[in-house]
Every structure is written in C-alpha cells, then in structure tokens.
Amino acid sequence: MKKIKYIEIKNLLKENSLEIKSEISNEEIFLNIKTISNSSINDLSFFSNLKYLNDLKNIKAKACLIEDKYIEFLPKNCKPIIVKDPYLALALITNVFNEEIYKSNGVISKNSIVNSKSKIHNNVQINDFSLIHENTEIFENTYIGSNSNIGPNVVIKNNVVIHDNVSISNATIMDNCIIQSGARIGGTGFGFEMKTKQKIFHRGDVLIGKDTSIGSNTTIDRAVFDTTTIGEFSNIDNLVQIAHNVIIGNFAVIAAQVGIAGSTIIGKNVTIGGQAGISGHLIIGDNVTIAAKSGVTKNIVDNKIVAGFPAKDIKLWKKEIIKNSIKKWN
C-alpha cells in the first residue's frame, strides 16, 4: 500500500496553482483517498457535491478536501484541507496515489516478435506475444503490453503506454498517450458506393495527439485519404467508434458508446455524453456539449449545449419534455 505524506499533497497542489490551507502536519501520512461514506481513519476524502452534505457528519477520514464555506459541517475527527476547487484537487491527488503506473523497464520479451525492418529506440518494453511489424518506429520509454499487434506503418512517440491486446496500424501516436486494452486504431473503415455497394479502399492514416487517452475496445478508423485526427489532451472512453476522416479538436471528452460517422469535424473543448450519435460530414463548433443519447443530424455552432433526437438547444429540449409530460397527465 502506498503511503503519501501531506507535504507531497501540498506541494503538488501548489505546483498546479491551487491555494491550500490546513493545520495538518507536513509529515502526516495518508494510506488512501476514498469517498466520504467509505473512508477510514488513515484516508483522505473530499467534498465537492452538495448531495453528500448530510454524509459529512459521519465521515471517518483523517482529512477532507473541502471549500471554506462548508467546514462547519465537518466533524472534529476530520481535519479540513481548504481548497477553492476540491474536485480538481482530487483529480491531481489521485495521480499521487496511483500504483498502476506503467514505466518501461527496457526489456523486449523473447516471446515477442520484432520485425528487422522496424526501429526500436532506447528503453522500450515489449511484453510477451506482441508483434511489431515492418515500417514501425517506437521511440523512448514506451511500454507495450502482451498480445498487441503494432504496425505496419506506425510511429509511436515517447512515453506512450499501450496495454494488452491492442491493434495499431497506419497511425502516429504522439508523446504521453495511453491506449487501453482492446483498442483498435488505424483499421479500414466502413465505406462503399451506395448504388453498387462497391467497397472503398482506405489509404489514409490516424493521428493521436499528445497526452491523449483512448479507452478499451474503442475503434478509430484510418482515413480514406488524408488523416483521421484526435486532438491533444483528449479523453476518449471505452467502446467509442470514430469513423474515417473524422477530425476532433484538442481537449475533447467523449463518453462510452458514442458513435461519430465519417468526415465529421469536431472543434476544441467539446464534451459528448454516452451513447450519443453524430451523423457524417457535420461541423461541430468549439466548446459544445452534447448530452447523452443525443442524435446529432445538423451542424452545431460554438458554445451550444444540445440534447435529444434530433439534437436541439437544451432549453428547447427541456420545454418539450415538460410539455409532453403535461399532455401525458391530462
């Protein structure tokens, strides 16, 4: 079990410009970070949602990340760590407690196969039964799990983590990306001429921007021509389908079971809720939020929040829900 001193937490938050105030000793040790209801005497907890205000009275944690205005609800057995944004502080601190950090040990398993026409840089780990094809270049400090199939025509930059059972071809993965188990990147997409059903051969590739995470069993198809692109600092959940020639901007957050049809362009800082579907050849603006289970059939301008099928401004959608509910009860 990982032991974390309070001084480590304090320094981390200060490095990320989060003001912090507490009377806890720098040498105080925490064994874990847990929710209010599941915490124990050696844990750190957090309060960031008013739904759990009544639960605070029974908190058993040693300390709690909390806003100043709520410390009166905190019992004396739990010391406050006062921050303006407890949830952001929590997100940062979870990285300190994270024990599942995959760092390359520089060992290439004898049970893996590395093509002689590939190029492997320093300190790359390749685990059992993984296959590295020709015309593949893997840069420093990359970790590749077991049973993964990499290449052909792949570039993997520095400090990338690729978990077990991943397939990547015709793609470039930039620095510090994480590819979860079962992901499929760079395969041929779903495209054909409608009248004759003639299959369209895909000749393009995929680009995954730096510091991006791709979830388990997510598929990202290579472009017909040009490049299917996922922007930097994006988080793609499990079981997402991203079709050929899609372009997604930086800082995207896409939840599970979303489907994005071919050649749609999505701006930066877009959030897409689970099971939403987006038609092909659309333009989705910057800072757009698409609610879960929405069906997007038209372009969306910047800064919009949409919901429903067909997706519309969320205020209109809510009015329709209320109107239909009234009709139902009359």
DSSP character at residue 157: -
Type and span of the H or E element at 321:
helix 314-329
* Whole-Å CA distances, 195 to 199, 225, 261: 11, 21, 19
Give Cβ neighbours of residue 172 (< 8 Å, ≥ 6 apart): 154, 155, 156, 157, 205, 206, 207, 208
Nearest to 219 by CA among 238, 235, 234, 204: 238
- Tell me whether residue 225 is exposed, middle or buried, using C-beta atoms within 10 angstroms of its C-beta: 0 to 12, 13 to 18, 19 or more: exposed
The two beta strands, 253-254 and 247-248, are unpaired
Question: Cα separation of 204 and 227, whole Å?
Answer: 6
Is 202 in the active site? no
**Is the bond preceding residue 152 a cis peptide, omega within 30 degrees?**
yes
The two beta strands, 154-156 and 136-138, are parallel
How many residues can be counted in the chain? 330
- In the set 133, 163, 202, 244, the catalytic residue is 244
Known catalytic residues are 244
